[in-house]
Structure 1
Amino acid sequence: MHISQQGVFGRTLLLAADMGVAALGRTVDYALLMRQCEAALDVQQTPVLWQTQVQNVRTLSRFAELDIVCNGKPHSLTADWVVLAEGGRLTDNLPGLSRHSYDYRQSALVTTLEFEHGNDGTAYERFADSGPFALLPYHNAYRLVWTRSPADAQALKEMPFADFAQAFEQAFGNRLGRLKTRGEAAVFPLQLKQLNKVYSGRVICIGNAAQTMHPVAAQGLNLGVRDALALARCFDAPHSLHNHHLARQYAACRRLDAQAIVGFTHSLVTLFDHPDAVLKLGRGGVMSLLDSLPAARKKFTEQLIFGL
């Protein structure tokens, strides 16, 4: 992973070899990920209700209750525990939960780019003057996630290819050769959303239900996966279904990692998305220092992959 700023000295290069792994990350199609998840559920003979919408969640002293609509018909379900892993909509009416929100007043432009020199296996994180972006290896091309103002992101989406290529190459340069093609683009608004706590009675929130972050450090999925792993370990304990303290124990083991990664991601946005020349020089110095200290660079990379 090559991390740099536009027009200023200093860069950091994070290497998979430093961590003893084949790659620091992968760019995976969501449909493929879903198929693999479905296959894992089938192997474990886990029943799944497709075409089902959860309309409401309630928590009582010893169980939780769901109001659902399955194949157009309303039903009620009860469970010892309910795990919410959706975007957070269902948490609004749960007692004791409140959501901190921060509107970055930014949007992410997401598209696929193909370059003259193809894909060199390196992910690029670039803090450009017009907004930070990530280039992620994707087959023989790259997936681009570019943070811009909402108006700029929409303009880039609708921009003729030649004008888009000129704008992008101005921010990135030509290290991958000229830009050959651009795929279909989508624009998403960016907000930070985080619950004051990740459980309410018999309901536990993980992933984007607990925290939704800016994509600048690509940490949202990592954090969600670690949430799921930690919760699975909690449920693996004897008599876990009847342990009234399970949710509190889960929250305690995830607090440090979640707070640190959310804080780190938010700091990147606020510190790097600023045009001040002195700040840019300071950031370049920090990146150069990190790049020259192998132990510090390895520790930084480890925390990005595995959390705290």
Structure 2
Amino acid sequence: MAFSSEDIANHPHFVEALRGFAGSLRKQFDDSPRLSRMLASHQRWLLSQAAFALQLEYDPTQPGSGLTTTNLREIITSNNAASRNTVLNFLDQLLSYKFVRIVGDPTRRPRRYEATEISYHAMFQWVLTNLMLLDRLDGGDRLATLQGRPDLLRLVQPQIARRACLEPRWLEPPPRVALFLWTEAGGLVMDELVRRAMDLTDSGDAYEIGRIDARQMAEHFMISRTHLQRLFRRAVEAGCLSWPDDSRKACLLSRDFLREYCHWQAVKFSIVDQAYEKICGPVRLEKPEPRLGAVREA
């Protein structure tokens, strides 16, 4: 049976697994910074998932199906995730960076788009990374299954996208999470903070995440230093981050804020698990080690 969001959020190893997940996303950013940078806000995450699902669902027997401006706009604007102009600009940017291409006659309307190889690979890696986290929680075989049957991505990913675009808890992050996720490249910053959250302070109410070099982080994530400093200032005001002294040599990430973020992320991981189970069936778990009391003498 697929994990519920509550099961995931309350799992004793979820925070540790989420740190590993954030580290994997950081590596994916380093491998393809421009693509990752484009998708590093919640709005663009929703747009990219919906767009990829639409192009996978293209049916040549159904005129107008597939990834078109109209189809993407209908999904996104129906839940107020973005405006019509935002959808248009998003597709234009994907096209200009060659993350999608036009299929057939470019002068024919409506234009139909499809993902290029770099986008397909990135989505496949993203789904694998999510499945890997779920496997870490229960010893399942989701990752191995999709790696062995990569064609299943065509069925699993649209299930993820459709469910995510209909789940109010995922569509609307909690206010303090939204502070990061609704801003430009905020997802990259949040992943970096989670990746660093290793050790609790003596008081147990925060994680030490080391020194934050705003200039270096802004350059690495290709965002404005002013924008990043403004984001950190608002995060401090909201109680997400703090500095214990004026030297600013070490930053603290609020434990309550990380818990809030974990509960929100758990909604998405539950969606992924439900989508996987819908297509691939129940997860096969590792066989437990035999208990000594069950061993019989010959």
TM over 0.5: no
**Larger helix share, 1 or 2:** 2
Larger relative strand fraction = 1
The TM-score with structure 1 as length reference comes to 0.25
- Report which structure shows greater RCO (CA 8 Å, sep ≥6): 2
Tell me the TM-score normalised to structure 2 length.
Answer: 0.26
